Amino acid sequence: MSSYDAHFRVWRGDVRGGGLEDFTIEVNDGEVVLDIVHRLQSTQAPDLAVRWNCKAGKCGSCSAEVNGRPRLLCMTRMSVFDRAETITVTPLRAFPVIRDLVTDVGFNYQKAREVPAFVPPEGVGPGEYRMFQEDVDRSQEFRKCIECFLCQDTCHVVRDHEENKTAFAGPRFLMRVAELDMHPLDAAEESGLDRRRTAQDEHGLGYCNITKCCTEVCPEGIRITDNALIPLKERAVDRKYDPLVWLGSKIRRRPS
């Protein structure tokens, strides 16, 4: 087993300020960036704050930016870097920093609450749900999401424009709307909730300019843009920009 010393630059600080700190640290065969961060903790910087949990790419806790790209620390293998390269690790740059590599991801939890939940169909009891695999495939892809929020971090709509955070739910939660709209038994429509219309009106679907960074960074390989966001845009078009529907609503409104 071979090992070598790598150069790391890790952002340390908090909301009051901070900067990149240099470290030289041992790296062994087969390790990932999170292993190195842990070695820094146990040998050089015991109070280096980092969020992590499963260390197997299943929980989506250790999101950060490595050499400027949003990544999961536990799924970024050291072998992808050149040994002489300096590896820069920073917190997610779209969210307020708490300390070191830990950011306040509360934005995402707030947005999660704004998406109306699954509406169970009337008159279908537990155990009576019948759905076919081809009907659940689409939503299942979106439910692979581990909520690492890398898509939310990389999306320029909020990353570069703090002021858009109120109006825009972000790729993760627009995908949630798509998931529910494609759920074969979701009864939102029957209950008077038009998910397609609210995607545009309340969750800011129009802000998305489909530049696909969310898809690029997704560690689960979910095709967010092609399979969730664009189909959702098309569904919104069905509701809002179809001239026949529009004309119909104008004509019917006139008498009143």
Partner 1 sequence: MSVVDRQEWDVVVVGAGGAGLRAAIEARERGARTAVICKSLFGKAHTVMAEGGIAAAMANANEHDSWQVHFRDTLRGGKFLNQWRMAELHAQEAPDRVWELETWGALFDRTKDGRISQRNFGGHEYPRLAHVGDRTGLELIRTLQQKIVSLQQEDHEETGDYESRLKVFQECTVTRVLKDGSRVSGVFAYERETGRFFVLQAPAVVIATGGIGKSFKVTSNSWEYTGDGHALALLAGAPLLNMEFVQFHPTGMVWPPSVKGILVTESVRGDGGVLRNSEGKRFMFDYVPDVFKEKYAESEEEGDRWYEDPDHNRRPPELLPRDEVARAINSEVKAGRGSPHGGVFLDVSTRMPAEVIRRRLPSMYHQFKELADVDITAEAMEVGPTCHYVMGGIAVDSDTAAARGVPGLFAAGEVAGGMHGSNRLGGNSLSDLLVFGRRAGLHAAGHAAATTGRPRVDDAQVDAAAAEALRPFSAEAAGEEPVAGPPENPYAVHQELQQTMNDLVGIIRREGEMKQALLKLAQLRIRARRAGVEGHRQFNPGWHLALDLRNMLLVSECVARAALERTESRGGHTREDHPAMERAWRNVNLLCVPADPADGPPVVDPEDGQIRLVRETTDPIRPDLLALFEKEELVKYLTEEELYE
Partner 2 sequence: MATGTEPPPTDPRPPSGVRGAGRAAIAAPHLRTDRWWLAPAATAAGLLAFIAYSTWRAFANADYYAAPYVSPFYSPCLAQNCRPMHAGPNTDLFGGWWGISPAIIILIFPLGFRLTCYYYRKAYYRGFWASPPACAVAEPHQKYTGETRFPLILQNIHRYFFYAAILVAGILTYDTVLSFRDEHYAWGHMGLGTLVFLLNITLIWAYTISCHSCRHIVGGKLKHFSKHPVRYRAWQFVGRLNARHMLLAWASLISVALADFYVYLVASGVFDDPRFF
Is 116 a binding residue for partner 1 by CB under 8 A? The answer is: yes
Q: Which stretch binds partner 1 (CB under 8 A): 159-167, 180-188, 191-199, 203-211?
A: 180-188
Is 125 a binding residue for partner 2 by CB under 8 A? The answer is: no
Spatial contact of 173 and 203, defined as CB atoms under 8 Å apart: yes
Rounded to whole angstroms, the Cα distance separating 159 from 170 reads 10
Report the residue from 147, 194, 201, 216 that binds partner 1 according to the rule CB under 8 A: 147
Partner whose binding site includes residue 58, from partner 2, partner 1, none (CB under 5 to 8 Å by kind): partner 1
Partner whose binding site includes residue 103, from partner 2, partner 1, none (CB under 5 to 8 Å by kind): partner 2
Spatial contact of 141 and 223, defined as CB atoms under 8 Å apart: yes
Rounded to whole angstroms, the Cα distance separating 215 from 151 reads 7
* Alpha helices, H only, 144-242: 150-154, 156-159, 171-182, 195-201, 213-217, 230-240
Closest CA to 48 of 98, 92, 107: 98
CA angle 128/132/133 to nearest 5° reads: 130
Is 66 a binding residue for partner 1 by CB under 8 A? The answer is: no
Is 93 a binding residue for partner 2 by CB under 8 A? The answer is: yes
Q: Strand 97-99 relative to strand 86-90: parallel, antiparallel, unpaired? A: unpaired
Is 122 a binding residue for partner 1 by CB under 8 A? The answer is: no
Spatial contact of 176 and 118, defined as CB atoms under 8 Å apart: no
The site for partner 1 (CB under 8 A) is made up of 1, 14, 28-32, 35, 41-42, 46-61, 75, 77, 79, 98-100, 102, 105, 109, 112-113, 116-118, 120, 126-127, 129-133, 136, 139-140, 143-147, 180, 183, 186, 221
The site for partner 2 (CB under 8 A) is made up of 11, 13, 15, 17-20, 65, 67-70, 85, 88, 90-91, 93-97, 103, 132, 134-135, 153-154, 156-157, 159-164, 182, 184, 204, 206-213, 216-217, 223, 226, 230-231, 233-238, 240-241
